[in-house]
Amino acid sequence: MNAQLANWDDLRVFLAVARAGSLSGAARRLGVNHSTVFRRIAGLEETLDVRLFERLPNGYALTPAGEETLGIVESIEDGVATLNRTVTGKDLRLSGSVRITAVDMLAFWLLPDHLARFRAAYPRIEISLAVGNETLDLSRRETDIALRIGNTPPETLVGRRVGQLRFAVYGAPDYCAAHPDTELAAHTWIGLDGGHAPLTRRFAQFLPGVRPAIRSNSVACTVRLAKAGLGLAALPCAIAERKPDLIRVADLPDSFALDLWLLTHEDLRHTARIRAVLDFLAPALGTALMSDPDGV
Amino acid sequence: MNAQLANWDDLRVFLAVARAGSLSGAARRLGVNHSTVFRRIAGLEETLDVRLFERLPNGYALTPAGEETLGIVESIEDGVATLNRTVTGKDLRLSGSVRITAVDMLAFWLLPDHLARFRAAYPRIEISLAVGNETLDLSRRETDIALRIGNTPPETLVGRRVGQLRFAVYGAPDYCAAHPDTELAAHTWIGLDGGHAPLTRRFAQFLPGVRPAIRSNSVACTVRLAKAGLGLAALPCAIAERKPDLIRVADLPDSFALDLWLLTHEDLRHTARIRAVLDFLAPALGTALMSDPDGV
DNA sequence: AGGTGGCTTTGCATGAATGCACAGCTTGCG
DNA sequence: CGCAAGCTGTGCATTCATGCAAAGCCACCT
């Protein structure tokens, strides 16, 4: 009766010796004592009743049977790697923390309701929602997921385009009542500065030569400033349409629209809880963006 | 960072639980305590950060992630089985005993020289050479290998046809000198009885109506009887040609030839030492059979 | 020729994995 | 309803795998 391999883990040790060429080298790779490796290989050879290695003064060399074994064990290793990659962490009992970064308007008004629903589904995943800048955060792992406005993301990031963010001109009712029949260019404009280049560029194309008298580096502030009646502002419809105290004053051309991306780093995309957040938010945000009348 | 599986042997335990449906059932299959299985599975789930089994009152059931794991681990198990099958025992340091059965003439005169060379190559394999009957021995595992004369072997046996056993008529020099110019049918014939139907049938076709006056159930005896000058006998050339005290008296038709098979049981053909014997004897016997002048 | 660095192999002590015994739960049967 | 059988889960004692330390070998360098 053929011997049966009783401890599959001996194959992992075999692999290390085959690759390192010595017991000592394999021990370093495995993080165990070289005498342990010695005994594991001896046990494996006894179990299989075959000499897998030639004992040389400067190390261990594979025998022909050992080379045949190596081929088989490498396919086993592929299976283990597949297991580690595809199964690890795949569990609704997920826990841990996920950090999401978005510009403030998305962080304040778009994400919270969706995150509330996400937490209902995954009560053990903690969410850290950061209002702030973009590229560096993901590259330096200071955040896990970024909700990014723009066009094409950097190549080091992976993710998906969840939809389009459409814009329109909004103003407070009081302000609008106080400025009837006024040309758009003659209005007081609330604009952005400090890091919102795509939006400021589009505004300059829309109203050339018009310098916004009211400016902020915070999109949320521009929304609140508009609500306060300080002027008109180009605001994302998905947010402004839901504010009863903002009136849609004028449309903006389709070229004003920006893509909305949900991004993470290449190394994190297989992390279960990161995937859970991405998988939940992508369709939710896409639906939210499409529910805007211009979204059709 | 994804966890890495540190002990591949946990997968073997996982497989047992997946198939048994319970810790207790897996423990029985593995020959370990159920508490060991419990801890191994708990450790595996912690390492992979995934729930592989639902805990039910009557046992463990696979989760979706567990089912995905099962598919992967079964491919790993296939690798281990391949390893056990193809590598185990493939070593000149083979040991153990092999029992070979053959009819007496083959056991006495054909096999021993080849077995001597085999033992030179595999000094730690013991050979048990049994003179005796055929089919039952292999089926009942009373022998490992049978050297069989005949045509098609039973379907439960596997093996290979190593060549043809050709026959011719032989007699002792003294007998031949004492019977010059005698018709074949008029000679005293030495024949077989008791279990050598293929040969007795062929002899009856060759010399119809001739009843051998000298009979034995032992082919070896017929050779010795012929050497003793009791008459003529139809003997295998591979044996008789090497006896200087036997003279080839007449040829026999090609239809007299019989196939020689080297057979073992389906379950044994992967046993390393069985394979070693088969791999050695098949070409050796084939060459021996072909070195007979009629073998060309 | 001697020293050094790398390696393998082994005896003994230590700690982790395992078995044992037990408790508790659920289901099925009388 | 009570009991038996099967199961899971856990604390503690035992066993065995592992690490440590040492011995010995070989090749290379000075």
Domain co-membership, B247 together with B275: no
The overall longest dimension of chain B from CA atoms, in Å, is: 97
What is the pLDDT, as a whole number, of residue B270? 66
- Interchain CB distance below 8 Å, A88 and B8: no
Lowest mean pLDDT among B30-34, B88-92, B109-113: B88-92
Integer Cα distance of B137 and B228 in angstroms? 32
User: Is B47 near strand C, with its CB below 7 A from some atom of it?
Assistant: no
Which one-letter amino acid corresponds to residue B22?
S
Strand C nucleotides, any atom under 7 Å to a protein CB: 6-11, 17-21, 25-27
Counting every residue, how long is chain A?
Answer: 296
Please tell me the distance in Å from B188's CA to the nearest CA on chain A.
Answer: 51
Assess whether A36 (CB) lies less than 7 A from strand D.
yes
Q: What is the pLDDT of residue B169?
A: 92
- How deeply is A249 buried, as exposed, middle or buried, from its count of CB atoms within 10 A (0-12, 13-18, 19+)? middle
Asked which of A197-211, A235-249, B105-119 is least confident by mean pLDDT, the reply is B105-119
Indicate the range of A282-296, B14-28, B181-195 predicted with least confidence: A282-296
C-alpha to C-alpha distance for A50 and B47, rounded to whole angstroms: 32
Mutate to test the interface with A, among B45, B88, B265 (most CBs of A within 10 A): B88
Say yes or no to pLDDT of A8 above 90: yes
- Which chain B residues touch A40 with a CB distance below 8 Å? none
How far from the centroid of its chain's Cα atoms is residue A242's Cα? Answer: 27
Which residue in the set B12, B65, B88 is minimally distant from A87, CB to CB?
B65
Whether the Cβ atoms of residue B249 and residue B176 lie closer than 8 Å to each other: yes
Share of chain B above pLDDT 70, in %: 80
Looking at the structure, do residues A251 and A171 belong to the same domain, yes or no? yes
Of B48, B82, B88, the CB nearest to A50: B88
- What does the pLDDT read at residue B37? 95
Q: Which of A51, A86, A121 is the last residue of a domain?
A: A86
- In the chain, the amino acid numbered A25 is G
Interface contact flag, A91 B65, Cβ < 8 Å: yes
Amino acid B35 CA to nucleotide C20 C1' distance, rounded Å: 10
| Poorest-pLDDT segment among A53-67, A185-199, B86-100, B207-221 | B86-100
What three-state secondary structure class fits B189? strand
Q: Are residues B154 and B288 in the same domain?
A: yes
CB proximity A152–strand D (7 Å threshold): no
Q: Is the domain of A213 the same as that of A287? A: no
What sections of chain B are H helices per DSSP?
A: 9-20, 23-30, 34-48, 64-86, 104-105, 111-121, 135-139, 173-178, 197-206, 219-227, 237-240, 272-290
- Boundary-marking domain end, from B40, B65, B86: B86
Residues A180 and A249 in one domain: yes
Percent of residues, chain B, with pLDDT higher than 90: 17
Question: Would B274 be classed as within a structural domain?
Answer: yes
CATH number, position B206: 3.40.190.10
Q: Let me know if residue A189 belongs to a domain.
A: yes
Q: What is the CATH number of the domain that holds A43?
A: 1.10.10.10
Of A58-62, A184-188, B44-48, B217-221, the range with the lowest mean pLDDT is B217-221
Contact A22, A60 (CB under 8 A): yes
Query: What is the pLDDT, as a whole number, of residue A152?
Result: 65
Better-scored residue on pLDDT, B75 or A243: B75
Rounded-to-integer distance, Cα B237 and Cα B165, Å: 8
Q: Identify whether B3 is part of a domain.
A: no
State pLDDT tens for residues B51-66.
899 888 788 988 878 8
State the distance between the two ends of chain B, measured CA to CA, in whole angstroms: 71
| Residue B132 CB-half CA count within 13 A | 14
Q: Give me the amino acid identity at B8.
A: W
Among B118, B21, B10, smallest CA distance to B73 is for B10
Q: What is the pLDDT of residue A140?
A: 56
Block residue for tokens 């994302």: A236
User: Which of B9, B50, B79 faces A75 most closely, judged by CB atoms?
Assistant: B79
The string of pLDDT tens digits covering residues B232-246 is 888 888 888 878 888
**A11/B83 touch (CB, cutoff 8 Å), yes or no:** yes
Q: Which residues of A83-100 are buried (b: 16+ CB within 10 A; e: fewer)?
A: bbeebbbbbeebeeebbb
Tell me, what's the pLDDT at B15?
95
> What is the spatial distance, in angstroms and rounded to an integer, between the CA atom of B9 and the C1' atom of C17?
13
For residues B64 and B187, membership in a common domain is answered with no
| B80 and B220, same domain (yes or no) | no
Rounded Cα distance between B71 and A128, Å, is 36
Domain ranges, residue A240: 167-256
- pLDDT-derived band at B217, boundaries 50, 70, 90: low
State whether A155 and A188 are in the same domain: no
CA torsion, points A153, A155, A157, A162, in degrees to nearest 10?
40
- Whether residues B30 and B153 share a domain: the answer is no
B159 with B274, same domain? Answer: yes
Work out the average pLDDT over B21-37: 92
Residues in chain B closer than 8 A to A84 (CB atoms): 2-5, 48
Question: In the block, which residue shows the tokens 């009712």?
Answer: A173
pLDDT above 50: residue B254: yes
Nearest chain A residue (CA) to B92: A50
Residue to mutate among B47, B50, B67, B78, with most A CBs inside 10 A, is B50
In this structure, what DSSP letter does residue A110 have?
A: I
Say how many Å lie between the first and final Cα of chain A, rounded.
71
B36 sits within 7 Å of strand C by its CB: yes
Return d(Cα A17, Cα A55) in angstroms, integer.
Answer: 12
CA distance B274 to B10: 33
User: pLDDT tier at B19 (50, 70, 90 boundaries)?
Assistant: very high
Exposed / middle / buried, residue A215 (Cβ in 10 Å: 0-12, 13-18, 19+): middle
Give B132 to chain A, closest Cα distance, Å.
24
- For chain A, the average pLDDT equals 79
Q: How far is B3 from chain A (nearest CA, A)?
A: 7
Taking CB atoms and an 8 Å cutoff, what residues of chain B touch A72?
79, 82-83, 86-87
Asked if A82's CB is within 8 angstroms of B50's CB, the reply is: no
* Six token digits for residue B98: 């092999």
Q: How far, in Å, CA of A20 to CA of A87, rounded?
A: 29
B99: CB within 7 A of chain C nucleic strand: no
Please determine, for residue A218, whether its predicted confidence score (pLDDT) is greater than 80.
no
**Structure confidence by residue, pLDDT tens digits, A86-112:** 777 665 556 677 878 777 667 767 777
In percent, how much of chain A has pLDDT > 90?
16
Phi, psi of B183 (to 5 degrees): -60, 145
Domain presence at residue A50: yes
Residue A3 has pLDDT above 60, yes or no: no
Mean of pLDDT values over B154-168: 76
- A149 compared with A269, residue with greater pLDDT: A149
pLDDT in tens, A253-281: 888 888 888 888 776 766 777 877 887 88
Paired tokens of A56: 């040389």
Q: Is residue A3 part of a domain?
A: no
Is strand D in 7 Å reach of the CB of B291?
no
Return the pLDDT at B209: 82
Contact B212, B190 (CB under 8 A): yes
Q: What is the pLDDT of residue A153?
A: 64
What domain count does chain B have?
3
Residue A217's φ and ψ, nearest 5 degrees, are -90, 5
State ipTM. Answer: 0.47
Same domain? A147 vs A195: no
Alpha-carbon distance of B234 to B190, in angstroms, equals: 8
- Final residue of a structural domain among A66, A86, A106: A86
**Whole-number Cα distances in Å, B67 to A43, B14, B15, B115:** 32, 11, 11, 52
By CB atoms closer than 10 A (0-12, 13-18, 19+), residue A238 is buried
Q: Which residue of A has its CA nearest to B272?
A: A2
Considering only residues A30 and A284, tell me which one the structure prediction assigns the higher pLDDT.
A30
Q: What is the pLDDT of residues A118-147, one digit of tens each?
A: 776 666 677 777 666 455 456 556 678 888
In-domain check, residue A4 = no
Q: Kindly indicate the confidence band of residue A296, based on its pLDDT and cuts at 50, 70 and 90.
A: very low
Alpha-carbon Rg for chain A in angstroms:
30
Q: A109: phi > 0 → left, psi -120 to 50 → alpha, else beta; which?
A: alpha
Q: How far is the CA of A84 from the C1' of D8 (A)?
A: 27
Residues 218-247 of A with CB under 7 A from strand C: none
Residue type, B74: E
Q: Say if the Cβ atoms of A73 and B83 lie within 8 Å.
A: yes
Q: What is the CATH number of the domain that holds A245?
A: 3.40.190.290
CA dihedral B100, B103, B104, B108 (to 10 degrees): -50
Query: Which residue's CA shows the smallest distance to C1' of C21?
Result: B35
Q: Which residue of A has its CA nearest to B63?
A: A91
pLDDT band (50, 70, 90) for residue B8: very high
- Picking from B50, B83, B270, B273 by the largest number of A CB atoms within 10 A of its own CB, the best residue to mutate is B83
Do B180 and B287 fall within a single domain? Answer: no
Transcribe A180-246 into DSSP letters. Answer: TT--GGGS-EEEE-SS-HHHHHHHHHHSTTPPPSEEES-HHHHHHHHHTTS-EEEEEHHHHTT-TT-
Please report which confidence band the pLDDT of residue A244 belongs to, taking 50, 70 and 90 as the band edges.
Answer: confident
Q: Is the residue at A196 inside a domain?
A: yes
Give me the mean pLDDT over the A25-52 stretch: 91
Pairing mode, if any, of strands A145-150 and A214-216? Answer: unpaired
Check pLDDT > 60 for residue B13: yes
Per-residue pLDDT at A136: 44
Residue of B nearest to A45 (CA): B88
* H and E: helices and strands count for chain A: 12, 12
A2 touches strand D (CB under 7 A): no
Question: If 0-12 CB within 10 Å is exposed, 13-18 middle and 19+ buried, where does residue A13 land?
Answer: buried
Residue B173 inside a domain? The answer is yes
